[in-house]
C-alpha cells in the first residue's frame, strides 16, 4: 500500500505541472501576439507575394531558427533579462524601430517586377532580424515569466521544449501570412505600388507602436 501511494505521488509530481498549467491562457496569449501584424509577418507576406511561397521558405526558416535562438536565450537568462529589461528596452526599441523603418523604405522602393535579383531576404536575413525584433523578446519574457516558469522552472528539458513551442507558434503564423501573400502574388505584381505603400505604412506603424 505504501509503495502504491509513493508511486501515485511520483506520478502527480511528474505530470501535475502539465495538468495544472494554464494552457488556454498561455495559447491565447501566444496566438494573439504572434498572429497580429509585426515585422516577421509583414516581411513573410511581402516576400511570398513577390516570389511565391516555396521560394520564401529560406527566409521563413531563418525566422524560425532566429526565433528559436531568442526564445532559448530568454529562457536561459530569464531572471537576468527580466532585471535588465528596463535598461536594455529603450536601446532595443530604438534599434528595432530604426530597422523596421529601413525595411519600410526598402519595401516602398520595390517595383512590381518579380525576379530572383529582388530576393535579398534569405535565411540569414530572417535569422538576424530576430535578434533586433523587440516584439519577440517581450513575447518570450512575458510567456516565460507569466505562464511557464512558475510551473517548470526546475525542468530544463520542458523549458527548452516550451522555447521551441513559442518559436514554432510564431513561425506558423509567419507561414500563414506568407501563404496569403503567395495566393495574391499576381495582385501584388499588378498593384505593386499601392501594396508596397500599405506594407511600408504597416511597418512604420509597427515601429511607432513600439514606443506607445
Mean pLDDT of 45-66: 88
- Domain boundaries, given as residue ranges, for the chain: 52-209
Return the pLDDT at 66: 94
Question: pLDDT, tens digit, for every residue of 76-133?
Answer: 877 666 666 667 667 766 776 777 787 778 777 766 554 444 445 689 888 988 888 8
Question: Where does the pLDDT of residue 69 fall: very low under 50, low under 70, confident under 90, or very high at 90 and above?
Answer: very high
Q: CA nearest 71: which of 146, 161, 175, 177? A: 161
**pLDDT above 90 coverage of the chain, percent:** 16
CA dist 92 to 12, 19, 43, 97, 210, Å?
42, 36, 19, 8, 10
Question: Where does the pLDDT of residue 141 fall: very low under 50, low under 70, confident under 90, or very high at 90 and above?
Answer: confident
Return the pLDDT at 156: 87
Return the pLDDT at 60: 92
Contact 99, 132 (CB under 8 A): yes
Q: Residue 156 has what DSSP assignment?
A: H
Question: pLDDT, tens digit, for every residue of 34-46?
Answer: 887 778 888 888 8
Return the pLDDT at 172: 94
Return the pLDDT at 8: 35
Question: pLDDT, tens digit, for every residue of 148-159?
Answer: 887 887 888 999
Report the 3 state secondary structure along 83-137: HHHHHHHHHHHHHHHHHHHHHHHHHHHCCCCCCHHHCCCCHHHHHHHHHCCHHHH
Question: Is residue 188 scored above 80 in pLDDT?
Answer: no
Selected residue with higher pLDDT from 130 and 189: 130
pTM: 0.71
Amino acid at each position: 500500500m505504501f509503495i502504491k501511494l509513493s508511486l501515485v505521488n511520483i506520478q502527480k509530481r511528474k505530470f501535475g505541472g502539465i495538468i495544472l498549467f494554464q494552457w488556454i491562457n498561455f495559447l491565447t496569449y501566444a496566438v494573439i501576439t504572434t498572429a497580429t501584424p509585426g515585422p516577421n509577418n509583414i516581411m513573410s507576406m511581402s516576400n511570398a507575394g513577390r516570389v511565391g511561397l516555396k521560394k520564401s521558405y529560406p527566409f521563413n526558416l531563418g525566422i524560425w531558427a532566429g526565433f528559436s535562438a531568442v526564445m532559448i536565450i530568454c529562457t536561459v537568462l530569464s531572471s537576468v533579462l527580466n532585471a535588465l529589461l528596463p535598461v536594455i528596452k529603450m536601446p532595443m526599441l530604438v534599434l528595432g524601430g530604426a530597422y523596421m523603418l529601413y525595411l519600410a523604405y526598402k519595401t516602398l522602393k520595390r517595383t512590381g517586377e518579380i525576379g530572383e535579383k529582388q530576393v535579398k531576404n534569405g535565411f540569414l536575413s530572417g535569422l538576424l532580424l530576430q535578434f533586433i525584433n523587440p516584439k519577440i523578446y517581450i513575447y518570450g519574457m512575458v510567456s516565460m515569466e507569466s505562464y511557464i516558469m512558475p510551473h517548470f522552472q526546475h525542468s530544463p528539458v520542458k523549458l527548452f521544449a516550451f522555447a521551441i513551442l513559442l518559436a514554432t507558434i510564431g513561425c506558423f503564423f509567419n507561414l500563414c501570412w506568407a501563404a496569403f501573400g503567395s495566393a495574391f502574388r499576381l495582385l501584388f505584381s499588378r498593384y505593386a505600388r499601392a501594396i508596397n505603400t500599405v506594407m511600408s505604412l504597416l511597418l512604420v506603424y509597427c515601429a511607432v507602436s513600439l514606443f506607445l
